[in-house]
Amino acid sequence: MATKLLQWLGALFIVLLVATAIGGLLVLKDRVRVVVQSDAPTSGPDPTALLRDDVQVLASRMGELQAALSQNFDRLQAAIEERTAARHADVIALRQEVGTARQLLDRLTQDLVALRGQVRGLQPQAAPQQQPAPANPRVESAAEAAVPVEVAPSPPAHAEPAPAVPQAKPAPGFLSFSLPAVQFRCDELQDYALLPGLCRVGFDAKSTLHDFTGVTEKVAGRFAADFDDPEGAWSGEVTVDAGSLVTGVEGRDTDMWEHLATKEHPQIRFAIQRFRPAPGGIDVQKQTARGDIDGKMTIRGQTRSLTMPVQLEVDPQKRVVVSGQVPLKLSDYGVPVPSQLGIINMQDEVVVWIALRARMQPKGHK
C-alpha cells in the first residue's frame, strides 16, 4: 500500500519536474542567447583592413582606367571633329561645284535657246520656196515679235556649205506652246512669293459661349528657302492685313479690330529667321519638309519670338504649300482679352494658323 503510494508520489514528482522544465523553457526562451566564441587568439590579419586595402587598390586602378579612357575619348573626339570638319569642307566644295555646274548648264541652255532662234531665223532664208507644213501651228512669241532676232549674214553663193548645225533638241512644249526648260528644285535656295487670293491666315479662339475662327486672305510676303539646307538659313516675311480679319459676327469683328488697334497697327507680321527641320522631316524626292520655323511675330506693334511648327509640300500646280499652327497668348502682345460684362469671356490663348501657297520666283527677281 505504502509502495503504491510512493510510486504514485514518484510519478507525480517526475511529472511535476517535467512540467516545471517546460514552463521554465517557455518563460525564458526569448531571453536565452547562445554565443559560440572561440578561445583561440586571433592570429591572421584584420579582414576589415584587408577589405579596405582591396577597395583602395580597386579605386586606384579605376582612377588609372578613367585617366586612360579619358585620354582615348579626347583623341576620339578630336578625330571625329577633324573628320567632321573635313566632311563639311567636302560638302561645301561639292555644293560649289554643283552650283558651278548648274550655272554652266543654265548658260548652255541659254546658248541653245539663242542658237535655236538663229536657226529659226536662218530657215526662211535658206529655203524661201519651201512651203510650211500645214499641220504645224504658227507659233509667235510676243517677245520674239517685238525684238528682231539678230541673224548671221547668209554665206555667199560660192562659199562652201556651212557645217551642218546639230539638230537642237526641241524645247519642252505643251499643247503646241513652246515652253522653257524650267525645273523645280526645292533642294537649293529658291525665292518664293506668296500668291494673293490663295493664302489664308487665321486664329481659333475659345469663349464662354462658343468657339470661333478669325480669318483673312489678305496675306502677302515672300521667303527664301532651301528644303535641304541643314543650317536652315531661311529668311523672309509674311504680312497680314489685321483690319481684314473677320469672324463672321459683325459686332465681334469691330471689337476685335479695336483690340488689335488696327488703325495704329494695320499689319501683323511674322519675320522668318530660321528653319529647323524635324528628324527625318526632309524628303527631297517627295518635295516635302517638316520642322519648326523660328521667327519674330509682331502683333499690335509688339514683337515676340515665336516658333511655329510647319509642313511644306509641293502641290500639282507646282506651288509650295505651307501650313502650320501655334498657340499664343494675346496678353503677350498687349492685346486686351475681350470680355462682355465679365460674364462672357474669351480665353487668352488662341491658336494662330497659316495655310499659304507660294510660287517659285526666278533668282534675283523682286
Q: Which residue in 2, 34, 143, 157 binds other proteins (CB under 8 A)?
A: 143
Q: Which three cell numbers stand for residue 296?
A: 519674330
Q: Which residue in 4, 138, 158, 169 binds other proteins (CB under 8 A)?
A: 138
- Do residues 242 and 257 make contact, with C-beta atoms less than 8 angstroms apart? yes
Choices 72-80, 93-101, 137-145, 285-293 (CB under 8 A): range interacting with other proteins? 137-145
| DSSP notation for 234-302 | -EEEEEEEGGG-B-S-HHHHHHHHHHHTTTT--EEEEEEEEEEEEEEEEETTTTEEEEEEEEEEEETTE
327-346 residues near other proteins, rule: CB under 8 A:
343
- Do residues 359 and 195 make contact, with C-beta atoms less than 8 angstroms apart? yes
Q: Closest approach of Cβ 244 to other proteins, in Å?
A: 14
Q: Closest approach of Cβ 110 to other proteins, in Å?
A: 10
172 binds other proteins (CB under 8 A): yes
307 binds other proteins (CB under 8 A): no
CB within 8 A of 119, min separation 6: which ones? 165, 168
320 binds other proteins (CB under 8 A): no
257 binds other proteins (CB under 8 A): no
CB within 8 A of 289, min separation 6: which ones? 186, 227, 275, 277, 281, 282, 283, 311, 312, 313
Pick the closest to residue 235 from 206, 292, 273 (CA basis).
Answer: 273
Which of residues 291 and 324 has its CB atom nearest to other proteins in the complex?
Answer: 324
Which of residues 110 and 123 has its CB atom nearest to other proteins in the complex?
Answer: 110
Q: Which residue in 112, 122, 261, 321 binds other proteins (CB under 8 A)?
A: 321
Which of residues 1 and 133 has its CB atom nearest to other proteins in the complex?
Answer: 133
Q: Which residue in 8, 13, 73, 184 binds other proteins (CB under 8 A)?
A: 184
176 binds other proteins (CB under 8 A): yes
CA-CA distance, 357 to 84, in Å (whole number)? 37
Q: Which residue in 156, 161, 316, 342 binds other proteins (CB under 8 A)?
A: 316
Choices 3-11, 95-103, 200-208, 301-309 (CB under 8 A): range interacting with other proteins? 200-208
208 binds other proteins (CB under 8 A): yes
Choices 117-125, 131-139, 276-284, 295-303 (CB under 8 A): range interacting with other proteins? 131-139
Residue type at position 76:
L
Which of residues 163 and 364 has its CB atom nearest to other proteins in the complex?
Answer: 364
Pick the closest to residue 274 from 345, 224, 210 (CA basis).
Answer: 224
Q: How many CB atoms neighbour CB 125 within 10 A?
A: 11
What are the beta bridge partners of residue 292?
276, 309
Q: Where are the beta strands (DSSP E) in 300-362?
A: 302-314, 320-329, 339-340, 344-345, 349-361
HSE toward the beta carbon, residue 364, CA cutoff 13 A: 0
Q: Which spans of this chain sit near other proteins (rule: CB under 8 A)?
A: 134-143, 172, 174-180, 182-184, 197-200, 202, 204, 208-213, 215, 217, 247-248, 316-319, 321, 323, 325, 343, 353, 355, 357, 360-362, 365
